[in-house]
């Protein structure tokens, strides 16, 4: 029986910019966005075994095990490879749900990468990214593990470099459904496409921010507060917002002033995911 437990990071991501360039007939949106990872996120402790069964802890209230992205990712590997092994996966959850930080997608990607390694199923990165896409649009970027420029509906990825700044990430007491924002009639959907070099040289913005700030006063209040200290904006469709700093000291100094109606954390942006770093250390 395999009983050694190993610990794997499931890092958060930020959308450093997000532009919506069109809407397809099927309702999906074309976009241009820059994903960067944070050195902060959930943690998965995985104990592989020979049971052929996947078990999870703790239970998530209101989410059936078979609907959990971690469970679905594990079952996807079993279905793809015919692997007869099992595992117990314990999740230490620190990323808020509905925050725009990619927590669920990151959990799924970490499950794919870690189990592929632990079970020695031999899947390539491309195969895992394809499997991840079936679980969620953001899963492939977490599987690949490097800062990426995304186009299409988010599935067309190319590696990119971004400044590794320090961020204060804050979450107002509200959860935002992505579909609510992308379905809003007043959402900007005609931002002109630009080259990556042009985007990197421009001021970073998020086309979802205007609508989110109108619909959710808590988000508007949070961004307004952060803007007093540093350039700040929405990540994804929210609810989390972030302020960028050149050094950790300034980020933590501002964090210490965070009002009691906001929760948050300080983290550094990294161009190589902590998941990829952990995987490479296993070899």
Residues labelled as active-site residues: 13, 138
Q: How many CB atoms lie within 10 A of CB 200?
A: 17
Rounded-to-integer distance, Cα 23 and Cα 171, Å: 28
Helices (H), the chain: 69-81, 103-118, 125-133, 139-144, 178-182, 196-201, 209-215, 217-226, 248-255, 274-282
Residue 145, SS3 per DSSP: coil
Q: Which two tokens stand for residue 94?
A: 């620190």
How far apart CA 60 and CA 75 sit, in angstroms, is 18
Query: Where on the phi/psi map is residue 82: left (φ > 0), alpha (ψ -120 to 50), or beta?
Result: left
Q: How far apart are CA 6 and CA 28, in angstroms?
A: 38
Distance CA 144, CA 273 (A): 9
């Amino acid at each position: 029986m395999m009983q050694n437990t190993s610990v794997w990071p499931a890092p958060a991501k930020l959308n450093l910019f997000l532009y919506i360039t069109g809407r397809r007939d099927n309702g999906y949106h074309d976009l241009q966005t820059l994903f960067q990872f944070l050195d902060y996120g959930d943690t998965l402790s995985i104990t592989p075994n020979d049971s052929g069964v996947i078990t999870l802890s703790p239970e998530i209230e209101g989410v059936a095990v078979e609907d959990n992205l971690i469970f679905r990712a594990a079952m996807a590997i079993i279905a793809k490879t015919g692997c007869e092994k099992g595992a117990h996966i314990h999740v230490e959850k620190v990323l808020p749900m509905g925050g725009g930080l990619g927590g669920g997608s990151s959990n799924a990607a970490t499950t794919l990468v870690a189990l592929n390694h632990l079970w020695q199923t031999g899947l390539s990165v491309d195969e895992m990214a394809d499997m991840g896409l079936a679980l969620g649009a953001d899963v492939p970027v977490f599987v690949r593990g490097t800062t990426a420029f995304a186009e299409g509906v988010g599935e067309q990825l190319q590696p990119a470099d971004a400044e590794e700044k320090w961020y204060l990430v804050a979450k107002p007491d509200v959860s935002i459904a992505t579909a609510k924002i992308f379905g809003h009639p007043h959402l900007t959907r005609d931002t002109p496409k630009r080259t990556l070099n042009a985007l990197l040289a421009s001021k970073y913005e998020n086309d979802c921010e205007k609508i989110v700030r109108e619909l959710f006063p808590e988000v508007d209040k949070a961004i307004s507060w952060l803007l007093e200290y540093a350039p700040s904006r929405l990540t994804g469709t929210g609810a989390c917002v972030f302020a960028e700093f050149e050094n950790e000291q300034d980020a933590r100094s501002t964090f210490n002033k965070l009002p009691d109606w906001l929760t948050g954390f300080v983290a550094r942006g990294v161009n190589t995911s902590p998941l990829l770093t952990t995987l490479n250390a296993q070899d």
